[in-house]
């Protein structure tokens, strides 16, 4: 048969089939030896032929040791790094208290301070028993295992952990616990919180005063629910937009990142050296991920940063210098490596540079199990990380074992006692500065329990202003914008009425999936904002996601873009938007063909190749990930009723915009530099002009012959990755081998000399899914309905309950078939290929044009399989469909 299937062009030769989600499965990836061959090439191509074009920093004053060959060196030379110091002066009274506490604490109490278990894994009683220093809720955990617990439950949990932590025997040191949370774009785990545009948008806004104000709001809303510490801001200088965390960064330019860093930390913590610092209105901030997270090779999450030490200093360190000056109290170490060495064990960069040169005097926290991949370490044991200067272990796989290991390693001297005291002393210093020793229980602190502050009108107004200011106008031919609010407007595209899409990742759940409008009681979609605006002025707005209409509109606003993702799940093999099917483009073209002027509003966590979409639009706006205040967009798109400009655009590009799918890395100040829109670009109403037709990239990168594979030899193929989904739709942590709740575990094994396989076993302790997900991965199978989804499996334990196989159209729409009988039959038969014809998914409700997840295997019973491949093949499967009964 002829292969006429439309396939994602992004399904290309595996550059690195593994994503961070699969980190622990990435055979060889974790243990890679320092590999610096070709490093001079890579630097030349990044910086141009001769002179490294890095942004100037005070660091350049320090003289490099002349004998060092920085092009190849993996050694750290602290002497070339600038000397700095914290903006918060040392307080002799605090230092004396630290010493007094240390002299009083037992060894066990000190070890407990260094641990930060996830609240899903520890009870208040265990906090008391183990003298735990901190807890966190990871991206997918909440009080009582409930991600969507009401605000009052969060505060209640904070009190419970706090009370346990101060419940010590008479005569012992009282050291209250602190709770860390990813308040990334607002207090984003809490229902109803004010959700700001993600950092990339704040970078576009380029308005430090407003960034500061936004994070004052975040601090205040955090105080309401009792968390002490946010793992923000990400101060990555993002150099390759394939990185799935690009949107968490402010910019590709160290200058812009540095400015926003200062503003955000001051907003969260208050001004250092003044009485407002960490007072009742503020919270502890984190500068992350130290260092070079945004500069990994290929933009791979948790990958390898190959820059030389001077570039590390001049390009990636300035935001850290600024953060320390702004008094940041914690620094989180990056999952990534520098020249093959895991940052989590890099004593040179942590102790000798960050602490001894840059002058950081707060405490250093690991990333989530970030120590696990250090050679010689595990998820429960890593003295090398502690000895390198990490003071607190976040999310240990089994914190009780970790506790025992640290304890015995201190006793045996593997971890020197002085190092333990230093680590704990730093944690105590931060706690004293933050006032937690004297502030009382979380619910008794300023702002606590004032639930009407969460998503209050004042707070939402700040977020709405940030949306307005962060929009970047890329095209406005013939001055189509601003639109008249008296017009008849068609609002189309799958982003028009999608809070999920406009929020991005780190929103209630880790990946930003699984949310419903009920989770955002104060939010406004982009369509709702437009509707309110035009109806007030006498116009009309009609929502039509697919662009169909009965009455021809005056203008169409089409809202489209990326679906949410977080961390490595968002990594991409290139920067093409909708390779293969270009669905949004077809919508734009069909509206234009009907003579309707089109305004595109592009939602994305990074610049992507969208030249065809820009050419098919009369006006084009980069809206990033705007958060809860969709009205901010219509504020700018529409004039006042009298035609006067209501709000002009003021955003400028914080990242260079690519002119081709493979044009990455692409960064200002490097050579060659030939972006479609340069860093800093952004049109204004006051300076109109026509862009005209832009050159489209000649051809998309070659499509692999084997485009129909999703899993091969047990490995997910880019852009797909495995997602382990457990209780309450929580998706497993990066590198995790089990679904949240523990009902599904995976591992890899060798099938034979050439090949691996994936072993997946469901324990029957609740429902869990093995799924394939990919950022923007999106396949169109409409023309190929005669084909089948094929899974080559070996069944080790037959299902004890129903097993469904589903495909997804976006986060909330699953179309399921029943695989129970087929799996039961396959038991004892060795390798078997199970096939389900695509029309079966269609009759179960799937839209074959936009499949976003090609496989999701779910059961609440027991099941164990080995998985070899998942492919679309010619459909030789049974002609009847295995209907999923009762689903
Ligand atoms: C991320 C961090 C985050 C932490 C806690 C990690 O996977 O890399 O940025 O703060 O999880 O959720």
pLDDT tens readout for residues 802-843: 999 999 887 778 889 999 989 999 888 888 888 888 888 888
The DSSP call for residue 217 is: H
Half-sphere exposure in the Cβ direction for 285 (13 Å, CA): 39
Whether the predicted pLDDT of 46 surpasses 60 = no
Whether the predicted pLDDT of 35 surpasses 60 = no
| Mean pLDDT of the residues in the chain | 88
- Helix (H/G/I), strand (E/B), else coil: 742: coil
How is residue 170 written in tokens? Answer: 């008479």
- Helix (H/G/I), strand (E/B), else coil: 768: strand
Pairing of strands 330-333, 286-290: parallel
> What is the separation, in whole angstroms, between the first and last Cα of the chain?
34
- Helix (H/G/I), strand (E/B), else coil: 123: coil
Helices (H), ranges, 708-855: 820-826, 838-843
> Residue 474 Cα, ligand 1 centroid: separation in angstroms?
33
* 138 neighbors 510 (Cβ within 8 angstroms): yes
Task: Round to whole Å and give the CA distance between 22 and 66.
Answer: 42
Task: Supply the DSSP string of 63-103, one letter for each residue.
Answer: PPPTT--TTT--S--GGGSPP---SS---HHHHHHHHHHHH
How is residue 449 written in tokens? Answer: 């329990």
Q: Strand order of the sheet with strand 229-230? A: 134-137, 178-181, 229-230
Task: Round to whole Å and give the CA distance between 242 and 300.
Answer: 7
The sign of the dihedral angle between the CA atoms of 403, 409, 410, 416 is negative
* 288 neighbors 334 (Cβ within 8 angstroms): yes
> Residue 315 Cα, ligand 1 centroid: separation in angstroms?
23
Burial of 438 (0-12, 13-18, 19+ CB in 10 A): exposed
pLDDT by residue (tens digit) across 144-168? 999 999 999 999 999 999 999 999 9
At 732 the pLDDT is 75
Task: Name which residue sits closest to atom 10 of ligand 1, judged by CA.
Answer: 231
Task: Name which residue sits closest to atom 12 of ligand 1, judged by CA.
Answer: 138
SS (H, E, C) 650-686: CCCCCCCECCCCCCCCCCCCCCCCCCCECCCCCCCCC
* 337 neighbors 304 (Cβ within 8 angstroms): yes
* 41 neighbors 599 (Cβ within 8 angstroms): no
Catalytic residues: 367, 567
* 153 neighbors 163 (Cβ within 8 angstroms): no
CA 188 to chain centre: 13
Q: Of ligand 1's atoms, which has the minimum distance to the CA of residue 139?
A: 12
> Residue 828 Cα, ligand 1 centroid: separation in angstroms?
42
Q: What are phi and psi of 230, to 5 degrees?
A: -110, 140
Among 186-190, 447-451, 704-708, which stretch is predicted with the lowest mean pLDDT? Answer: 704-708
Q: Of ligand 1's atoms, which has the minimum distance to the CA of residue 335?
A: 8
At 27 the pLDDT is 25
pLDDT by residue (tens digit) across 833-881? 888 888 888 888 888 877 888 899 999 999 999 998 888 877 655 667 7
Task: Name which residue sits closest to atom 11 of ligand 1, judged by CA.
Answer: 368
How is residue 544 written in tokens? Answer: 């039509």
* 427 neighbors 363 (Cβ within 8 angstroms): yes
Q: What are phi and psi of 533, to 5 degrees?
A: -65, -50
* 431 neighbors 175 (Cβ within 8 angstroms): yes
CA 431 to chain centre: 28
pLDDT tier for residue 776 given thresholds of 50, 70 and 90: low
How is residue 737 written in tokens? Answer: 């081998």
User: Which of 20, 138, 231, 568 maximizes ligand 1 atoms within 8 Å of its Cβ, making it the mutation to test the pocket?
Assistant: 231
pLDDT tier for residue 750 given thresholds of 50, 70 and 90: low
User: Which of 19, 117, 335, 367 maximizes ligand 1 atoms within 8 Å of its Cβ, making it the mutation to test the pocket?
Assistant: 367
Q: What would the mean pLDDT of 558-563 be, rounded to a whole number?
A: 95
How is residue 419 written in tokens? Answer: 């190092």
Helices (H), ranges, 594-638: 611-615, 631-637
CA 253 to chain centre: 19
Task: Name which residue sits closest to atom 6 of ligand 1, judged by CA.
Answer: 368
> Residue 137 Cα, ligand 1 centroid: separation in angstroms?
10
Task: Round to whole Å and give the CA distance between 814 and 645.
Answer: 44
> Residue 594 Cα, ligand 1 centroid: separation in angstroms?
47
Exposure class string for 697-721: b at 16+ Cβ within 10 A, else e: beebbebeeebbbbbbbbbbbbbbb
The sign of the dihedral angle between the CA atoms of 860, 865, 867, 870 is negative
Among 17-31, 440-454, 493-507, 568-582, which stretch is predicted with the lowest mean pLDDT? Answer: 17-31
Give me the residues paired with residue 818 across strands. Answer: 804
pLDDT by residue (tens digit) across 523-547? 999 999 999 999 999 999 999 999 9
Give me the residues paired with residue 853 across strands. Answer: 808
Q: What would the mean pLDDT of 557-570 be, rounded to a whole number?
A: 92
How is residue 712 written in tokens? Answer: 């091969």
As separate numbers, helices (DSSP H) first and strands (DSSP E) second, the chain gives: 22, 29
Q: Biggest alpha carbon distance in the chain?
A: 81
Task: Supply the DSSP string of 524-583, one letter for each residue.
Answer: B-HHHHHHHHHHHHT-EEEE-TT---SS--SEEEEEEEPPP--GGGG--SS-BSSTTT-H
At 514 the pLDDT is 80
* 331 neighbors 317 (Cβ within 8 angstroms): no
pLDDT tier for residue 461 given thresholds of 50, 70 and 90: very high
At 751 the pLDDT is 59
Count of CB atoms situated within 10 Å of the CB of 827? 15
Q: How far are the Cα atoms of 458, 461, 502, 506, 719 from residue 183, in angstroms, in the given order? A: 19, 19, 17, 8, 28
Query: Which residues have any ligand 1 atom within 6 Å of their CB?
Result: 138-139, 182, 231, 288, 367-368, 567, 734
Q: Of ligand 1's atoms, which has the minimum distance to the CA of residue 232?
A: 10
Task: Name which residue sits closest to atom 5 of ligand 1, judged by CA.
Answer: 138
How is residue 214 written in tokens? Answer: 């936004």
> Residue 232 Cα, ligand 1 centroid: separation in angstroms?
10
Half-sphere exposure in the Cβ direction for 329 (13 Å, CA): 31
Phi-psi region of 504 (alpha: psi -120 to 50; beta: other; left: phi over 0): left
Q: What would the mean pLDDT of 293-307 be, rounded to a whole number?
A: 97
Q: What are phi and psi of 25, to 5 degrees?
A: -90, -15
At 778 the pLDDT is 65
pLDDT by residue (tens digit) across 88-145? 999 999 999 999 999 999 999 999 999 999 999 999 999 999 999 999 999 999 999 9
- Top-confidence residue, 41 or 713: 713
pLDDT tier for residue 53 given thresholds of 50, 70 and 90: very low
pLDDT by residue (tens digit) across 683-738? 999 988 899 999 999 654 433 333 577 887 787 877 778 889 987 777 776 567 88
At 532 the pLDDT is 98
- From the list 316, 397, 380, the residue with the least C-alpha distance to 122 is 397
Task: Name which residue sits closest to atom 7 of ligand 1, judged by CA.
Answer: 368
* 488 neighbors 476 (Cβ within 8 angstroms): no
Q: Name the packing angle between helices 318-325 and 254-269 (round to 10°).
A: 20
* 772 neighbors 723 (Cβ within 8 angstroms): yes
Whether the predicted pLDDT of 81 surpasses 60 = yes
pLDDT tier for residue 785 given thresholds of 50, 70 and 90: low
Task: Round to whole Å and give the CA distance between 592 and 612.
Answer: 13
- From the list 237, 231, 287, the residue with the least C-alpha distance to 262 is 287
Q: What would the mean pLDDT of 276-290 be, rounded to a whole number?
A: 98
pLDDT tier for residue 349 given thresholds of 50, 70 and 90: very high
> Residue 249 Cα, ligand 1 centroid: separation in angstroms?
14
Count of CB atoms situated within 10 Å of the CB of 690? 10
Give me the residues paired with residue 677 across strands. Answer: 657
At 30 the pLDDT is 31
Whether the predicted pLDDT of 23 surpasses 60 = no
- From the list 31, 835, 784, the residue with the least C-alpha distance to 372 is 31
Confirm whether pTM is higher than 0.85. Answer: no
Percent of the chain with pLDDT over 90: 73
* Secondary element (H or E) of residue 758: strand 756-763
Task: Round to whole Å and give the CA distance between 331 and 381.
Answer: 21
How is residue 794 written in tokens? Answer: 């070996």
Q: Of ligand 1's atoms, which has the minimum distance to the CA of residue 733?
A: 7
* 566 neighbors 231 (Cβ within 8 angstroms): no
The sign of the dihedral angle between the CA atoms of 98, 397, 292, 141 is negative
How is residue 19 written in tokens? Answer: 């994503």
Task: Name which residue sits closest to atom 2 of ligand 1, judged by CA.
Answer: 367
Q: Of ligand 1's atoms, which has the minimum distance to the CA of residue 234?
A: 9
- Beta carbons within 8 Å of 94's beta carbon, 6+ residues apart: 429, 432, 433
- Helix (H/G/I), strand (E/B), else coil: 129: helix
Q: What would the mean pLDDT of 368-396 be, rounded to a whole number?
A: 96
Task: Round to whole Å and give the CA distance between 202 and 627.
Answer: 11
Q: What share of the chain is helix, strand, coil (3-state, %, to 5)?
A: 30, 20, 50
């Amino acid at each position: 048969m002829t292969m006429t299937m439309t396939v994602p062009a992004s399904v290309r030769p595996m550059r690195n089939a593994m994503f961070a989600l699969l980190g622990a499965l990435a055979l060889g990836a974790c243990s890679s030896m320092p590999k610096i061959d070709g490093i001079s090439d890579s630097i030349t191509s990044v910086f141009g032929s001769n002179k490294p074009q890095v942004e100037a920093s005070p660091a350049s004053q320090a003289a490099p040791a002349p004998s060092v060959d920085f092009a190849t060196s993996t050694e750290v030379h602290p002497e070339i790094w600038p000397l700095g110091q914290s903006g918060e002066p040392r307080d002799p009274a605090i230092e004396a208290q630290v010493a007094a506490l240390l002299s009083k604490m037992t060894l066990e109490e000190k070890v407990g301070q260094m641990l930060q278990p996830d609240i899903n894994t520890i009870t208040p009683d265990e906090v008391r028993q183990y003298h735990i220093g901190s807890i966190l809720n990871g991206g997918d955990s909440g009080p009582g295992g409930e991600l969507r617990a009401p605000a009052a439950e969060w505060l209640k949990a904070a009190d419970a952990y706090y009370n346990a932590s101060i419940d010590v025997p008479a005569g012992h040191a009282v050291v209250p616990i602190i709770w860390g949370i990813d308040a990334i774009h607002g207090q984003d785990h809490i229902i109803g919180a004010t959700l700001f545009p993600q950092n990339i948008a704040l970078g576009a806004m380029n308005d430090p005063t407003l960034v500061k104000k936004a994070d004052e709001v975040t601090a205040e809303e955090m105080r309401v629910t009792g968390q002490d510490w946010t793992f923000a801001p990400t101060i990555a200088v993002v150099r390759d937009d394939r990185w799935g965390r690009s949107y968490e960064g402010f910019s590709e330019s160290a200058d812009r990142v540095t400015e926003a860093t200062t503003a955000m930390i001051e907003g969260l913590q208050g001004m250092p050296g003044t009485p407002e610092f960490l007072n009742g209105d503020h919270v502890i901030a984190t500068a992350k991920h130290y260092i070079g997270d945004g500069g990994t090779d290929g933009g791979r999450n948790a990958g390898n940063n190959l820059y030389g030490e001077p570039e590390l200093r001049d390009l990636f360190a300035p935001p850290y210098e600024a953060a320390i000056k702004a008094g940041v109290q914690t620094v989180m170490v990056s999952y990534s490596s520098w020249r093959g060495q895991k940052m989590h064990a890099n004593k040179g960069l942590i102790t000798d540079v960050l602490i001894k040169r840059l002058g950081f005097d707060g405490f250093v926290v690991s990333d989530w199990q970030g120590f696990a991949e250090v050679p010689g370490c595990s998820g429960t044991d890593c003295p090398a990380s502690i000895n390198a200067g990490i003071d607190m272990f976040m999310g240990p796989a089994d914190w009780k074992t970790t506790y025992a290991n640290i304890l015995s390693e201190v006793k045996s001297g593997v971890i020197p006692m002085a190092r333990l005291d230093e680590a704990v002393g730093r944690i105590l210093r931060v706690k004293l500065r933050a006032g937690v020793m004297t502030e009382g229980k979380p619910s008794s602190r300023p702002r606590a329990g004032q639930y009407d502050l969460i998503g209050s009108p004042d707070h939402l107004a700040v977020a709405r202003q940030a949306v307005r200011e962060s929009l970047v106008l890329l095209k406005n031919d013939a001055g189509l914008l601003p639109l008249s609010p008296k017009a008849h407007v068609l609002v189309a595209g799958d982003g028009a009425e999608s809070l999920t899409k406009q929020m991005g990742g780190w929103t209630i759940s880790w990946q930003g999936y699984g949310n419903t409008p009920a989770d955002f009681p104060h939010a406004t979609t982009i369509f709702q904002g437009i509707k309110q605006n035009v109806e007030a002025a006498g116009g009309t707005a009609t929502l039509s996601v697919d662009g169909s209409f009965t009455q021809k509109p005056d203008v169409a606003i089409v809202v489209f873009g990326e679906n949410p993702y977080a961390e490595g799940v968002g990594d991409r093999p290139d920067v093409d938007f909708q390779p293969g099917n270009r669905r949004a483009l077809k919508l734009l073209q069909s509206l234009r063909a009907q003579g309707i002027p089109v305004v595109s509003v592009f939602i994305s966590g990074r610049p992507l190749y969208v030249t065809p979409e820009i050419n098919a639009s009369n006006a084009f706006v980069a809206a990033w990930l705007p958060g809860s205040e969709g009205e901010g967009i219509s504020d700018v798109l529409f004039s006042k009723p009298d035609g006067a400009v209501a709000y002009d655009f003021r955003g400028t590009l914080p990242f260079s915009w690519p002119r081709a799918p493979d044009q990455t890395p692409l960064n200002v100040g490097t050579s060659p530099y030939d972006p479609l829109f340069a860093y800093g670009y952004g049109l204004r109403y006051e300076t109109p002009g026509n862009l005209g037709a832009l050159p489209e990239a000649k051809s998309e990168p070659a499509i692999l012959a084997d485009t129909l594979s999703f899993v091969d030899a047990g490995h997910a193929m880019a852009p797909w990755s495995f997602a382990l989904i457990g209780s309450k739709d929580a998706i497993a942590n990066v590198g995790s081998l089990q679904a949240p709740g523990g009902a599904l575990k995976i591992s890899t094994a060798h099938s034979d000399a050439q090949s691996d396989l994936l072993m997946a076993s469901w324990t029957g302790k609740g429902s869990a899914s093995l799924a394939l997900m990919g950022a923007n991965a999106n396949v169109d199978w409409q023309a190929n309905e005669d084909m089948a989804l094929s899974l080559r499996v070996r069944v080790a334990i037959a299902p004890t309950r129903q097993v469904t196989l589903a495909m997804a159209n976006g986060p909330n729409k699953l179309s399921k078939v029943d695989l129970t009988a087929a799996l039961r039959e396959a038991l004892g038969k060795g390798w078997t290929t199970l096939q389900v014809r695509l029309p079966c998914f269609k009759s179960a409700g799937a839209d074959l044009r936009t499949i976003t997840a090609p496989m999701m295997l779910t059961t609440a019973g027991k099941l164990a399989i080995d998985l070899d491949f998942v492919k679309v093949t010619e459909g030789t499967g049974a002609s009847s469909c295995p209907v999923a009964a009762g689903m």
